[in-house]
Amino acid sequence: MNWDCCEYAIYWMVTQPECCKELAASVFGYSCPSNLYYGEYKDGDWEERGNLIPLKIIEKWSDGKYHQEDLQFNFDYFKIEVDGFIRDRDKNGKSYPKLEIPEDLLNFKPGNKPIDLPKELDPRINPEIWDLFHSLGTNAGSRPA
């Protein structure tokens, strides 16, 4: 699925009380957190469209709003993105406004339980779920019959 059309759905997911640390950390990694250091800070405003998701994750993580579920996620990609972020942070300094990122988020490790999505929730199989994704502007392939 393409993130370019579903920021609002992802934002909704990471703001739910049921959202776990594994999902939040995975989304944080996929949100290209290094963008927070490159040309996104303008006139004291971090909250441009592309930054809303990682900033909300930082806020909720710092406030202890996420719980641990021991779920697996694509750790290799998370590690690449977060290592790049740490490298950029160290190069640019840690004094950016409103950007106090918890070290336990940057050093988060995935759990061991595989995520097993029931087939009936797959938008490539379920027309109702496909319609939901489509209404949010998210490309999930052709609508199933």
- pTM score, two decimals? 0.69
Nearest to 33 by CA among 42, 46, 20: 46
| pLDDT at residue 48, rounded to an integer | 58
The whole-number average pLDDT for the span 20-28 is 90
Task: State how far the Cα of 36 lies from the Cα of 47, in Å rounded to an integer.
Answer: 10
User: Residue 38 is encoded by which pair of tokens?
Assistant: 């490159």
Largest alpha-carbon pair distance within the chain? Answer: 53
List the single range of 8-12, 67-71, 124-128, 139-143 with lowest mean pLDDT.
139-143
Q: What is the pLDDT of residue 47?
A: 53
> What region does 43 belong to: left with phi over 0, alpha with psi -120 to 50, or beta?
left
State the pLDDT at residue 1: 40
Residue-level pLDDT at 99: 67
Residue-wise pLDDT tens digits, 59-75: 999 999 999 888 877 77
Q: Residue ranges of the domains in the chain? A: 3-114, 117-145
51, 98 Cβ separation under 8 angstroms: no
